[in-house]
Amino acid sequence: MTAPAVNDASVQASPASVVGSGRRGIPWALTGGLLLALLVLVPVAAGLGAYPIPTGEVLSSVLHRTGLGGTALDRVPESVLWNVRFPRIVLALLVGASLGCAGALMQGVFGNPLAEPGVIGVSSGAAVGAVAALALGLNFLGTWTVPAFAFVAGLGTVLLVYVMSRSGGRTEVVTLILTGIAVNAFAGALIGLFLFFADSAAVSQITFWQLGSLSQATWPKVLAVLPCAVLGLGLAPLYSRRLDLLSLGERPARHLGVDVERLRIVLVLVIALLTAAAVSVAGIIGFVGLVVPHLLRMVAGPGHRFLVPGSALLGALVLLAADLTARTVAAPAELPLGVLTALIGSPFFFWLLRRTRRRQGGWA
C-alpha cells in the first residue's frame, strides 16, 4: 500500500499551518491589543515606585527628550526616570520578549507544547557560569564579569548538549531532551558545589542572582542585551512557515522541502542566543517561555506566523507587569522576579495540564 501523497493543499488545510477560518481576525486584534497595552503600561510603570511621578510628567519628559515638545522635569525626577526606571523597563521588555519568543520556538522545534528554553540546558549552564564567577570572586571584567560568564556558559552548554545528542549525523528530539535533562542535573550539582565552597557573602550574591531580578538594570546592560535580542527576534519569524510544516511530522516536512536537521540546528542556536542573553542580565526567570506561547495558542490557534512574534510581544508585556508588581506590591521591599513568575506560572501550568488531560480523555 502506498503512502498518501502530501501536497501544498494538505498543508494549507492543516491546523498547524494556518489559523482557523473563524480566527482569521484574532491575530490582528491581539497584536493591536498587545501594542496598546504596552503603550499604556510603559508610562504607568515609569511613574510608579518609591518616588512616584505622575504619568503626565512622564510623557512630558519623554516628549522633551525626543524633541517633540513637552518640558523637562526637575533634576531628581528626571534622574529617577532616565537613570533608574527607563533602563529597567527597556530591559524587562527585551528579556520578556526574548524568553517568550524562545519558548514559542522551543515548543515548535520539539513538537511539544510543554517544552521551554531551560530544557536544552541554557538556563542551568548560564547559572553555572554566573555562580562560578561569584563564588570565585572573579572581577576582571568589572560589572560585566557575571553576565559575560553566564552568557558564554549558557551558549557553551547548549552546544555541548547538541553535540552529545547527535548520532549518525542526525539529532533526535527525544535524545536531545534526555541529554538536556542529564546536563541540567550535572549543572545543578556544580552549582551546589560552588555554594558549598563559597563564603557567606558570595552565597548571598548567588542566591539573589538565582532568584532573578532586574534591580541592577543599567543602560550598558540594555546595550549588551540589545544586539542578541534584535538578532534573535529578527531571525525567529523567518522560520514560521517551516515550523508549521514541521508540526505535520518530520517525514512530511522533509517531503515538502524542509531540511529538518538544519532547521533544528539554527533554531536551537537562536533559542540559546535569546535565552542566554536574557538569563545573563536578569538571572533565572521561569515559566515565561512556557506560559506565554500557551496563552496565545489557546486564543489564536497554533500558526507560528503569529505565534512567534506574538509571544515576543506578550512576553514583554507579562515580564514588565511582573516586574512592576515585584517592586511595588511589597514596597519598600522588592520581591524576586523569578519567584513571582514561578508563583503565578506554576498554578497556571497545573491548570493547563488538567485542561489538556480532560480534553484528551486521559493520558493512559
Q: How many domains does the chain have?
A: 1
pLDDT for 172-201, tens place per residue? Answer: 777 888 888 899 899 989 998 988 888 888
Tell me how far apart the alpha carbons of residues 254 and 10 are, in angstroms, rounded to a whole number: 14
- Residue 45 within a domain: yes
Contact 158/270 with Cβ under 8 angstroms?
Answer: no
Euclidean distance between CA atoms 12 and 303, whole angstroms? 11
We report the CATH number of the domain holding residue 295 as: 1.10.3470.10
Name the residue range of residue 344's domain.
Answer: 32-360
Domain presence at residue 70: yes
Predicted model pTM: 0.86
Residue 24 lies in a domain: no
> What percent of the chain is modeled with pLDDT above 90?
30
**Within-domain flag for 212:** yes
Burial class (CB in 10 A: 0-12, 13-18, 19+), 321: middle
- What residues have CB less than 8 Å from 210, skipping those under 6 apart? 127, 131, 191, 283, 284, 338
What pLDDT does 361 receive? 58
pLDDT at 12: 41
Of residues 227 and 363, more confidence is placed in 227
Residue 20 confidence class, pLDDT cut points 50, 70, 90: very low
The reply to whether 286 falls in a domain is: yes
Give 2's contacts (C-beta < 8 A, 6+ positions apart). none
**Mean pLDDT over the full length of the chain:** 84
282-327 pLDDT, tens digit each: 888 988 988 899 889 888 888 899 999 999 999 999 999 999 999 9
The verdict on residue 21 lying in a domain is: no
Cell of 342: 514561578
12 assigned to some structural domain: no
351-359: long-range contacts (C-beta < 8 A, 24 or more apart)? 352/291, 352/294, 356/113
Indicate whether 19 belongs to any domain. Answer: no
